Amino acid sequence: MTDKYILARENGRNIPKEDKIFGISNRAKAAIREKGPERVINGTIGALLDDEGKLVVLESVDQVFHQLKPEDYAEYAPIGGTAPFREAVQKAAFGDHAPEGFREAVATPGGTGSLRNVVSNYSSPGDEILTSDWHWAPYGTIAGEIGRKVATFTLFDEEGKFNGASFREKSAELLQRQESLVIILNTPAHNPTGYSLTLEDWDQVIDVLKEEAASGKAIALVVDAAYIDFAGDEDEYRKFFPKLGELPENVISIVAYSLSKTCTLYGTRCGAMICVAKTREIADEFKRVCEYSSRGSWSNTARVAQVILSRIYEDPQLLKRVDEERAGYRQMLLDRGRAFSEEAEKTGLPIVPFDAGFFVSVPCADPDAVSRKLEEEDIYLVPLKLGIRISVASISEEKCRRLPAAIRAAMEAVGEKID
Ligand code: PLP
């Protein structure tokens, strides 16, 4: 159902009166105020919280923040980002696994800004952007805002493995109809499933793109790496990057990197889009068109987090401290995810293939009904199209252990088939 507009134009979008997640989250907060945090499980929040429900902020990063001088944050930054940031963010994203090719970084307001700029520059109005059926809903919002739509392939096959066949089929279908194709893969530690593409999955992706590139059309592969530093060992989880260097000239890879989670700087709105291109001309074009688009949307990105990241990468001791501190919290997160999946297995609750990260998902036929039932037990989770999303990032390990049995009971109560 579309809402009626008074003065605003609909422009093909369906803008609800109330954001569903926002509503659930408000009810969760009200329940916590009324009944206390122990009685309530609020698994809706997409930020890392400690066991007491407080936002985790890396102290090592916060110290840099507090040492800044006014000129570090008050002045405008260049449109594409400061020179030290452009360098530092490539080190942060790729670690020791930078792909071969011509690389350029453009600063953006978070990973969201990168996604917006890719869609606007590498697809045409009316195009469909390809991503997986389980995906972060704002992809659709970003596409819809600029006259594009999202099309999906099936992420998992019957055995719960990456569905390379569906990826191939859908890419081919879209490239038959369109002159260009933007593909968004959110990995590692995908939102909302927690899946990470394996190196073998990546080989399939690269093979498909090489085949499809024979059409000569323009393809942009976006690696949405928002959760890369919370997936597990930083080095292991970056080993897929060199594969991007194998792609042919008409496929540009763009990493959407975000400082929101990696540096716990969510509110400073900083990230970068980093391209890997086969030729200097394509990399220069990337920088030129993305800076132009930035100018026409948010102009420049806030300077503050750019300076913070640059300082961290200028000082090996400080970088070590940040990495170590993050590793401690990452372990806490991984333990929570493991606790949830272990209990799910014990209780016979099916979950979508999970590896690591902020979220786990449970497939079900009527996610809204399951979610409403859970609210009766003071459990607040996010109903998606294909299932229920649980933010293990925002609840303690003990609550993670309690949840699977409660979810299973709610599913049974609303008549869900559980196999
Ligand atoms: N991509 C995914 C899958 C996300 O979940 C998020 C944040 O929740 C982002 C990108 C971008 O976040 P930000 O714009 O804060 O960097």
Angle at 327 between CA 322 and CA 329, to 5 degrees: 100
Same domain, 33 and 139: no
Residue 37 has pLDDT above 80, yes or no: yes
pLDDT band at 18 (very low <50, low <70, confident <90, very high): confident
Using the 3D structure, point to which of 267, 285, 317 is the last residue of a domain: 317
Same domain, 89 and 199: yes
DSSP secondary structure string, 20-71? HHHHHHHHHHHHHHHH-TTT-EE----S-B-TTSPBP--HHHHHHHHT--HH
Same domain, 215 and 300: yes
Same domain, 139 and 169: yes
Domain that holds residue 86: 62-317
Residue with tokens 């917006």: 116
Same domain, 89 and 161: yes
Residue 216 has pLDDT above 50, yes or no: yes
Output the domain CATH number for residue 398.
3.90.1150.10
Residue 11 lies in a domain: no
Residue 250 lies in a domain: yes
Burial of 58 per CB tally in 10 Å (0-12, 13-18, 19+):
buried
Closest ligand 1 atom to 114 CA: 14
Same domain, 374 and 360: yes
Give the pLDDT of residue 1. 46
pLDDT band at 4 (very low <50, low <70, confident <90, very high): confident
Using the 3D structure, point to which of 251, 283, 317 is the last residue of a domain: 317
Structure tokens at 333: 């997160």
Residue 39 has pLDDT above 80, yes or no: yes
- Average pLDDT of 89-96? 98
Distance separating alpha carbons of residues 404 and 402, to the nearest angstrom = 6
Give the pLDDT of residue 20. 83
Distance separating alpha carbons of residues 129 and 120, to the nearest angstrom = 11
- Average pLDDT of 267-276? 98
224 lines ligand 1 (CB under 6 A): yes
In the reported structure, the alpha carbon of residue 112 is separated from the centroid of ligand 1 by a whole-number distance in angstroms of 6
Is the Cβ–Cβ distance between 252 and 282 less than 8 Å?
yes
Residue 418 lies in a domain: no
In the reported structure, the alpha carbon of residue 219 is separated from the centroid of ligand 1 by a whole-number distance in angstroms of 22
Same domain, 273 and 406: no
Task: For the beta carbon of residue 192, count every other beta carbon within 10 angstroms.
Answer: 25
Same domain, 280 and 311: yes
pLDDT band at 3 (very low <50, low <70, confident <90, very high): low
134 lines ligand 1 (CB under 6 A): no
In the reported structure, the alpha carbon of residue 393 is separated from the centroid of ligand 1 by a whole-number distance in angstroms of 14
Sheet with 180-186: strands ordered across: 102-108, 271-277, 251-258, 218-224, 180-186, 128-132, 149-153
Give the pLDDT of residue 419. 77
In the reported structure, the alpha carbon of residue 226 is separated from the centroid of ligand 1 by a whole-number distance in angstroms of 6
Same domain, 119 and 263: yes
Give the pLDDT of residue 56. 98
Give the pLDDT of residue 17. 83
Residue 7 lies in a domain: no
Please name the residues in contact with 286: beta carbons below 8 A apart, sequence gap of 6 or more.
Answer: 104, 106, 252, 254, 275, 277
Residue 206 lies in a domain: yes
- Mean pLDDT (the chain) is 96
Residue 408 has pLDDT above 70, yes or no: yes
Residue 261 lies in a domain: yes
Is the Cβ–Cβ distance between 77 and 106 less than 8 Å?
no
Q: In this structure, which residue's CA is closest to atom 12 in ligand 1?
A: 111
Strand-strand pairing, 102-108 and 128-132? unpaired
Give the pLDDT of residue 14. 85
**Cis peptide preceding 192, ω within 30 of 0:** yes
Output the domain CATH number for residue 135.
3.40.640.10
Residue 243 lies in a domain: yes
271 lines ligand 1 (CB under 6 A): yes
- DSSP H helices in 178-250: 199-213
Residue 85's nearest CA partner among 271, 253, 254 is 271
- Per-residue pLDDT tens digits for 224-271: 999 999 999 999 999 999 999 999 999 999 999 999 999 999 999 999
188 lines ligand 1 (CB under 6 A): no
Residue 61 has pLDDT above 90, yes or no: yes
Residue 8 lies in a domain: no
Least confident of 11-25, 47-61, 163-177: 11-25
The number of folded domains in the chain is 2
111 lines ligand 1 (CB under 6 A): yes
Structure tokens at 407: 């979810």
Give the pLDDT of residue 22. 83
Q: Is 285 helix (H, G, I), strand (E, B) or coil?
A: helix
Could you tell which of 117, 150, 222, 224 is best to mutate to test the pocket of ligand 1, judged by most ligand atoms within 8 Å of the CB? 224
Same domain, 79 and 228: yes
Same domain, 125 and 217: yes
Same domain, 43 and 129: no
Closest ligand 1 atom to 186 CA: 3
